[in-house]
Amino acid sequence: MRKFILVPLVVWSLSCTILASEIREFDIRTIERLGNELTRVSQTADHGATTPVRKRAQQTAEAALQGKLFNVRYEYVVLDDPDGNGFLVYALARGSKRGDVGVHGHFRVGVSADGTQARRIDALSHSVDIENRYADPSPAGYQRVVFVTSQTVGTRPLETLVYASNLMNLRFVVATLPDGQAWRIQNGKIHKVTKAEQEAAEREEQKKK
């Protein structure tokens, strides 16, 4: 029987001077929906560029992001904008190996309904992080059951973290900085972790030591 690594989450004590940058944010239900759509559409042959207008929107986003991307591979996914007017085009960071998943390093471009104008560019992180879903860094006899990360933009977990959690088939625990609020992402759903839940988890962890 394999043992499971339980990772205690200590985020309320985080001290960080990084300020959450201004990005376009959505409500939790919309973030979940976008993240699950990203997961599905990113695995189709056309990546959402199914019409001439949507293909034009992708080309507009690519042009707008020239010189802004990190030095990794990218693929583009086109989704409908939740406001019903235009598109969201995602530049998703990719690795070069089978099983590589971009956790951080993505960009989002809001494009007009005719596909010709980039209305807004949001850098969804300040750095890039590529993980491999098949490479478990746990010691022999243990199995990773959670991926812990932090997010320095926005006040809620991003849809790209829902996407990464889905692709890695792994529960994510995310601290949104600088307040250190904890969130849990699993099976395409986001849960805000309360301080009481955190304290209970830490007490349970202490009992096992």
Q: Per-domain residue ranges for the chain? A: 3-207
The encoded tokens of residue 90 equal 């995602």
Contact 101, 132 (CB under 8 A): yes
Phi-psi region of 57 (alpha: psi -120 to 50; beta: other; left: phi over 0): alpha
Task: Write down the pTM of the prediction.
Answer: 0.85
Report how far Cα 125 is from the mean position of its chain's Cα atoms.
9
pLDDT averaged per 10 residues, the chain (length 209):
40 38 90 98 98 98 98 97 96 95 98 98 96 83 85 94 97 87 96 84 67
Q: Which amino acid is at 180?
A: G
What is the structure's pLDDT at 151? Answer: 93
What is the structure's pLDDT at 140? Answer: 74
What is the structure's pLDDT at 164? Answer: 98
What is the structure's pLDDT at 60? Answer: 98
Is the four-CA dihedral 116, 117, 118, 120 of positive or negative sign?
negative
From the CA atom positions of the chain, what is the Rg in Å? 18
Q: What is d(CA 121, CA 49) in angstroms, rounded to the nearest whole number?
A: 19
What is the structure's pLDDT at 139? Answer: 77
Q: What is d(CA 124, CA 55) in angstroms, rounded to the nearest whole number?
A: 22
What is the structure's pLDDT at 3? Answer: 36
What is the structure's pLDDT at 4? Answer: 39
Using the structure block, give the residue that is written with the tokens 């959690």: 165
Contact 94, 100 (CB under 8 A): yes
The encoded tokens of residue 23 equal 């990005």
Q: What is d(CA 79, CA 88) in angstroms, rounded to the nearest whole number?
A: 5
Closest CA to 80 of 44, 122, 121, 49: 49
